[in-house]
Amino acid sequence: MIDTRTNSPELWRDHLPSPTPEDNKYSRGFAFVLGGEHKTGAAALASRAAQRIGAGVVTIACPTSAANVYRILNCSAITQGFHDTSIYKEYLEDERIDAFLAGPGLGDESANTERIFAMLRRGKPTVLDADALNIMAHTRDNFFATLDTAFSLEERKNIILTPHRGEFSKLFPEFADQPALEAAQNAANFCGTTVILKGHNTHITQKDQPCCVNRAASPWLTTAGSGDVLSGLCLGLLAQGVPAYTSCCIACAFHSRAATLHGPGLVAEDLNDMIPIVLASFLPARSPSP
Q: Which of 233, 236, 229, 228 is nearest to 31 (CA)?
A: 236
- pLDDT (average), residues 32-42: 97
218-242 residue pLDDT tens: 999 999 999 999 999 999 999 999 9
How far out from the chain centre does Cα 239 lie? 10
pLDDT for 187 equals 98
Cβ–Cβ < 8 Å for 204, 7: yes
Query: Is the pLDDT reported for residue 125 higher than 70?
Result: yes
Domain ranges of the chain: 4-15+24-281
Query: Is the pLDDT reported for residue 288 higher than 60?
Result: no
pLDDT for 169 equals 98
pLDDT for 108 equals 85
Amino acid type, 52:
R
Strand 159-161 and strand 194-197: pairing?
Answer: parallel
CATH of domain 4-15+24-281: 3.40.1190.20
- Which of the two residues, 275 and 289, has the higher pLDDT score? 275
Cβ–Cβ < 8 Å for 202, 194: no
Query: Is the pLDDT reported for residue 290 higher than 70?
Result: no
* Residue-wise DSSP of 46-98: HHHHHHHTT-SEEEEEEEGGGHHHHHHH-TTSEEEEESSHHHHHHHHT-TT--
90-112 residue pLDDT tens: 999 999 999 999 999 999 888 99
Beta-sheet strand order (sheet of 30-34): 4-6, 211-214, 202-205, 194-197, 159-161, 126-128, 99-102, 30-34, 57-63, 78-82
Rounded Cα distance, 144 and 136, in Å: 9
| HEC sequence for 150-209 | HCCCCHHHHEEECCCHHHHHHHCHHHCCCCHHHHHHHHHHHHCCEEEECCCCEEEECCCC
How high is the mean pLDDT of the chain? 96
Query: Is the pLDDT reported for residue 287 higher than 60?
Result: no
Query: Is the pLDDT reported for residue 189 higher than 60?
Result: yes
Residues 6+ apart with CB under 8 A from 285: none
Query: Is the pLDDT reported for residue 289 higher than 90?
Result: no
